């Protein structure tokens, strides 16, 4: 790939990036979230078209028109979320879309042979072709996906965060498969945040940052420290308004809290007027922790103390009564009811000011909402319009305004600045600072290090489900956070 | 621009009525039925015929807005009518019999709601099961035959010429109107109503905002059950016997009425006014077709087509808005 660029609106996702992949090599693609890795890979797979630049496949220019086109040319993608039909068998999944038939009838023997051969190639004959995929472990499913790619005679295999949902053992099995594929002449693009893994499997690597290529070379030539430096090495722009705030008493305390979907117990405490950042990679357990605190996931072990009252069980409505507010990272599917109006969405968690004898005083509610719209600076023509007609940034502001309207004093914010423009981001930072100076407590989950370092008082880093370390922000820097998040040890 | 949006709002406001007006205009312009169709006696009889479906549709509207469905509505109506007949036959005072009928409906609804929320089953499955269970209980209670009951004032609830005559319409029709107004107000202006919309629009968001989903759903299904119970009482009033085999398939009419009236089976939209219009579109069609002397199957084909056309039009209307 030569000189590939891609812009999405005002943001430059890729800026003149080159990538060279040799036959039979494992090439790691590294970078922070949003560095442009997935855009690059999507261009290769035909899902996104580049604005400029050319791809050469075995010496010939190649411009895939669709993912199908690119698959036909031997480029297979294996995503984080596996794309298998759970009710079908292993064989049916491997052969899906390329069933061998005569006059519409499946030629079972030949298909079986082909599936066997693919599974043999990666030495996983223990997986029975007749088993339903839903009965397989996550690791085994990934093996099936790779087998599918082999049946398609893939020349290039793209693995996007393949180990993020795998256990240690399954990861080892995957590395074995990768080695075997290499000897078959298959080239692999390997995207991962786990740097030690990359050192183990990759021959060469390319580091991207802010859509630009920072480094490309042999894996053995760079140290872990250099890699981390290259990934984060950006100067923090001063877009983080400093609003002085003082921390007070402990307001929320987790004692060995473990929720249904958390991998480990977590201890944590939060004070009035404090902004606590939770750093870590995607899937490190930060979201799950917030959801357990808010009662969205059931508590399995441990307890939490809210304003000196110990509880373990709780549903969102009890947490809201205790003064908590939660902002979901998934605005579309969870954060907002998109067919309801701005007014409804903003007030949904707190109807009490407008309630009289079970009925709503709509005029009063509309008037109050107008104040919030002004306060949070939401651009909306008619507050009775469904929220899906608003832009992403404005939708996020509606979701945030809901927490204000709810008069929460413990804010659990999950990726509040994801996917919104810089100006809205900066407004949200300022708003968080003001909340803290009013004595509110904030837990701030973010995958964007500069903002964590910019506005948090304390930062806790998660790695594969457990809290690695929590320290005041002044004792962290981008490098040490990245080390803790990618290696799981205090750096 | 402003002019256009004003026209748009008028159309949107009239939108639900257009179908009804269309049906009425068509029949009142056909020479064979013109002089009978838009006459007071006929209108009264259409109104009376609509009562049971309308009561069922009020509950169904709530359920469908919340993203659910109730397939057991018709069985519930049959069971409640049998219970009412049974109670009157056993010599209970009529008022108590009515009460028992309505409560029976409510209990079936409560069972639906509790099973859906506690077993986390989809409403389709639970109410499909309840469709059989309630019908079975009805037949069992009635000893697999009709229950004759002595005539009481209960049977006058659905009488076409009511006593006292200043009522003009059957008491059942008045009840339908009053409940429709009450439910429309509850759905639009009450906290409970807003919660139903929120759950149907996005259950995850509703949960996040602290809405007690289980409780709300149980209330919705129970309320719908109560309406079916009242419908059952009306059914008994109309038939003067408790017939366990009555109203088979009526749940589909009820669902059709809600859907014609703008209810979305994926939840989050619908209105009482719309559903009532849906009920009346179907009643007038049946009435008109009968007057024309058209056979039953023609009615079925027309109503089937109306459902598809009405929902398609509704979608186009909403797509144009944004």
Give the closest residue to B71 by CA, choosing from B145, B119, B121, B118. B121
DSSP states along A57-113: ETTEE---SSHHHHHHTTEEEE-SS----TTSBHHHHHTTT---EETTEE-HHHHHH
Q: Which two tokens stand for residue A371?
A: 């104040």
Mean pLDDT to the nearest integer, A378-404: 86
Per-residue model confidence (pLDDT) at position A171: 81
Residue contact A333–B204, C-beta within 8 A: yes
Of B198, B208, B269, nearest to A326 by CB-CB distance is: B208
DSSP A334: I
Of B189, B198, B207, nearest to A344 by CB-CB distance is: B198
For residues B305 and B301, give the distance between their C-alpha atoms in angstroms, rounded to a whole number.
6
Q: Which residue carries 């030495």 as its tokens? A: A123
For residues B151 and B40, give the distance between their C-alpha atoms in angstroms, rounded to a whole number.
27
Neighbours of A109 (CB within 10 A): 9
Superfamily of the domain at A250-487: P-loop containing nucleotide triphosphate hydrolases (3.40.50.300)
For residues A174 and A122, give the distance between their C-alpha atoms in angstroms, rounded to a whole number.
10
Asked whether the beta carbons of B207 and A294 are under 8 A apart, the reply is no
Write out pLDDT tens, residues A93-121.
Answer: 888 877 777 777 778 888 888 888 888 87
B178 vs A208: which has the higher pLDDT: B178
Asked whether the beta carbons of A81 and A113 are under 8 A apart, the reply is no
Average pLDDT taken over every residue of chain A:
85
Asked whether the beta carbons of A434 and A271 are under 8 A apart, the reply is no
Asked whether the beta carbons of A121 and A180 are under 8 A apart, the reply is yes
Residues of chain B above pLDDT 70, percent: 93
For residues B306 and B298, give the distance between their C-alpha atoms in angstroms, rounded to a whole number.
12
Strands A309-311 and A299-306: antiparallel
Burial class (CB in 10 A: 0-12, 13-18, 19+), B254: buried
B199 min Cα distance to partner chain A (Å): 9
At A412, is the pLDDT very low, low, confident or very high (cuts 50, 70, 90)? Answer: very high
Asked whether the beta carbons of B80 and B104 are under 8 A apart, the reply is yes
User: Is the confidence at residue A376, as pLDDT, over 90?
Assistant: no
User: Is the confidence at residue A467, as pLDDT, over 50?
Assistant: yes
Q: Which residue carries 């037949």 as its tokens? A: B139
A-chain residue closest to B197, CA distance: A340
Q: Which of A316, A322, A400 would you mutate first to test chain B, the one with the most B CBs within 10 A?
A: A316
For residues A357 and A181, give the distance between their C-alpha atoms in angstroms, rounded to a whole number.
69
Write out pLDDT tens, residues A307-324.
Answer: 889 988 889 999 999 999
Per-residue model confidence (pLDDT) at position B5: 62
B9 min Cα distance to partner chain A (Å): 13
Whichever domain contains B120, its CATH number is: 1.10.3470
Indicate if A250-487 has the same CATH topology as A2-232.
yes
Asked whether the beta carbons of B313 and B8 are under 8 A apart, the reply is no
| Domain-located, residue B4 | no
At A295, is the pLDDT very low, low, confident or very high (cuts 50, 70, 90)? Answer: very high
User: Is the confidence at residue A11, as pLDDT, over 60?
Assistant: no
State how many domains chain B has.
Answer: 1
> Out of A195-204, A429-438, A477-486, B157-166, which region has the weakest mean confidence (pLDDT)?
B157-166
For residues A177 and A182, give the distance between their C-alpha atoms in angstroms, rounded to a whole number.
9
Of B191, B197, B207, nearest to A340 by CB-CB distance is: B197
For residues A94 and A442, give the distance between their C-alpha atoms in angstroms, rounded to a whole number.
47
Mean pLDDT to the nearest integer, B46-58: 96
Residues of chain B above pLDDT 90, percent: 63
| Domain-located, residue B6 | no
Q: Which two tokens stand for residue A449?
A: 């290090």
Per-residue model confidence (pLDDT) at position B15: 66
What residues does each domain of chain A span?
Answer: 2-232, 250-487
Query: Could you tell me the residue range of the domain that residue B31 belongs to?
Result: 18-316
Q: How far is CA A117 from CA A91, A132, A140, A150, A151, in A?
A: 12, 19, 17, 9, 9
Per-residue model confidence (pLDDT) at position A490: 76
Entry field: residues in chain A: 491
Residue contact B201–A338, C-beta within 8 A: yes
Distance of CA B247 to the CA centre of its chain: 12
Per-residue model confidence (pLDDT) at position B116: 97
Residue contact B210–A335, C-beta within 8 A: no
Q: At A255, phi and psi to the nearest 5?
A: -115, 105
For residues A366 and A416, give the distance between their C-alpha atoms in angstroms, rounded to a whole number.
25
Residue contact B268–A328, C-beta within 8 A: no
Q: Which two tokens stand for residue A36?
A: 């442009």
Distance of CA A82 to the CA centre of its chain: 15
Q: Report angle CA A432, A409, A377 to the nearest 5 degrees.
A: 45
For residues A476 and A326, give the distance between their C-alpha atoms in angstroms, rounded to a whole number.
26
Give the CATH architecture of domain A2-232.
3-Layer(aba) Sandwich (3.40)
Write out pLDDT tens, residues B236-255.
Answer: 999 999 999 999 999 999 99
Residue contact A338–B322, C-beta within 8 A: no
Residue contact B201–A316, C-beta within 8 A: no
Q: At B311, phi and psi to the nearest 5?
A: -70, -40
Radius of gyration of chain A from its Cα atoms, rounded to whole angstroms: 25
Of B194, B204, B209, nearest to A360 by CB-CB distance is: B194
At B2, is the pLDDT very low, low, confident or very high (cuts 50, 70, 90)? Answer: very low
Per-residue model confidence (pLDDT) at position B58: 97
Residues of chain A above pLDDT 90, percent: 29
């Amino acid at each position: 790939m030569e000189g590939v660029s891609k812009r999405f609106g005002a943001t430059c996702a890729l800026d003149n990036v080159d990538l060279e992949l040799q036959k039979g090599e494992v090439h790691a693609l590294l970078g922070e979230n949003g560095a442009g890795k997935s855009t690059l890979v999507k261009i290769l797979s035909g899902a996104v078209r580049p604005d400029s630049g050319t791809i050469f496949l075995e010496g010939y220019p190649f411009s895939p028109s669709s993912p199908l086109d690119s698959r036909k040319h031997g480029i297979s993608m294996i995503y984080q979320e596996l794309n298998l039909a759970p009710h079908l068998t292993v064989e049916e999944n491997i052969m899906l879309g390329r069933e061998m038939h005569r006059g519409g009838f499946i030629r079972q023997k030949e298909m079986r042979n082909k599936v066997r051969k693919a599974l043999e190639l990666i030495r996983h004959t223990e997986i029975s072709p007749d088993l339903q995929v839903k009965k397989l472990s996550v690791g085994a499913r990934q093996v099936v996906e790779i087998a599918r790619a082999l049946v398609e005679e893939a020349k290039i295999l793209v693995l996007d965060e393949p180990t993020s949902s795998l256990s240690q053992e399954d990861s080892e099995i995957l590395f074995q498969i990768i080695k075997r594929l290499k000897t078959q002449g298959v080239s692999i693009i390997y995207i991962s945040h786990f740097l030690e893994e990359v050192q183990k499997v990759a021959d060469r690597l390319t580091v991207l940052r802010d859509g630009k290529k920072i480094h490309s070379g042999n894996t053995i030539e760079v140290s872990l420290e250099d890699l981390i430096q290259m990934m984060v090495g950006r100067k923090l722009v001063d877009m983080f308004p400093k609003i002085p705030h003082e921390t007070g008493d402990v307001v929320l305390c987790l004692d060995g809290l473990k929720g249904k979907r958390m991998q480990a117990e977590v201890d944590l405490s939060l004070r009035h007027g404090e902004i606590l950042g939770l750093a870590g990679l995607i899937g490190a357990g930060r979201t799950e922790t917030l959801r357990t605190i808010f009662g969205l996931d059931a508590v399995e072990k441990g307890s939490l103390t809210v304003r000196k009252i110990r509880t373990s069980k709780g549903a969102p409505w009890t947490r809201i009564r205790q003064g908590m507010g939660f902002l979901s990272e998934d605005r579309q599917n969870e954060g907002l009811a998109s067919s309801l109006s701005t007014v409804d969405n903003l007030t949904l968690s707190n109807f009490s000011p407008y309630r009289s004898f079970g009925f709503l005083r709509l005029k009063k509610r509309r008037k109050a909402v107008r104040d919030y719209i002004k306060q949070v600076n939401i651009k909306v023509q008619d507050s009775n319009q469904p929220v899906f007609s608003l832009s992403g940034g404005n939708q996020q502001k509606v979701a945030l305004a809901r927490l204000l309207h709810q008069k929460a004093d413990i804010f659990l914010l999950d990726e509040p600045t994801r996917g919104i423009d810089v100006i809205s981001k900066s407004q949200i930072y300022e708003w968080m600072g003001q909340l803290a100076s009013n004595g509110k407590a904030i837990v701030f989950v973010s995958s964007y290090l500069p903002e964590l370092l910019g506005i948090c008082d304390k930062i806790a880093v998660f790695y594969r489900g457990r809290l690695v370390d929590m320290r005041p922000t002044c004792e962290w820097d981008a490098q040490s956070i990245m080390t803790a998040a990618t290696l799981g040890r205090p750096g | 621009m402003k002019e256009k949006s004003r026209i748009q709002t008028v159309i949107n406001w009239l939108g639900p009525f257009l179908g009804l007006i269309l049906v009425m205009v068509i029949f009142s312009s056909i020479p064979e039925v013109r002089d009978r169709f838009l006459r007071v006696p006929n209108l009264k009889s259409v109104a009376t015929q609509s009562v049971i479906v309308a009561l069922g549709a009020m509950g169904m509207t709530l359920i469908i807005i919340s993203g659910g469905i109730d397939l057991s509505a018709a069985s519930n109506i049959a069971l409640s009518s049998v219970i009412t007949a049974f109670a009157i036959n056993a010599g209970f005072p009529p008022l108590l019999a009515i009460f028992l009928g309505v409560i029976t409906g409510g209990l079936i609804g409560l069972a639906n709601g509790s099973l859906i929320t506690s077993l986390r089953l989809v409403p389709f499955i639970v109410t499909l099961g309840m469709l059989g269970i309630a019908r079975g209980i009805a037949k069992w209670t009635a000893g697999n035959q009709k229950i004759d009951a002595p005539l009481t004032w209960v049977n006058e609830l659905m009488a076409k010429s009511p006593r006292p005559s200043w009522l003009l319409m059957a008491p059942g029709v008045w009840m339908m109107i009053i409940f429709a107004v009450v439910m429309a107000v509850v759905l639009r202006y009450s906290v409970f109503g807003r919660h139903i919309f929120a759950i149907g629009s996005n259950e995850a968001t509703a949960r996040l905002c602290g809405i007690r989903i289980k409780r709300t759903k149980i209330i919705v299904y129970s309320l719908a059950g109560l309406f079916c119970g009242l419908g059952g009482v009306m059914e008994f009033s109309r038939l003067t016997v408790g017939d366990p085999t009555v109203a088979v398939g009526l749940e589909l009419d009820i669902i059709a009425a809600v859907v014609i009236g703008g209810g979305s089976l994926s939840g989050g939209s619908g209105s009482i006014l719309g559903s009532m219009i849906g009920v009346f579109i179907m009643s007038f069609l049946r009435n008109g077709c009968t007057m024309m002397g058209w056979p039953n199957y023609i009615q079925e084909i027309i109503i089937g087509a109306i459902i598809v056309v009405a929902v398609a039009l509704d979608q186009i209307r909403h797509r144009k808005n944004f």
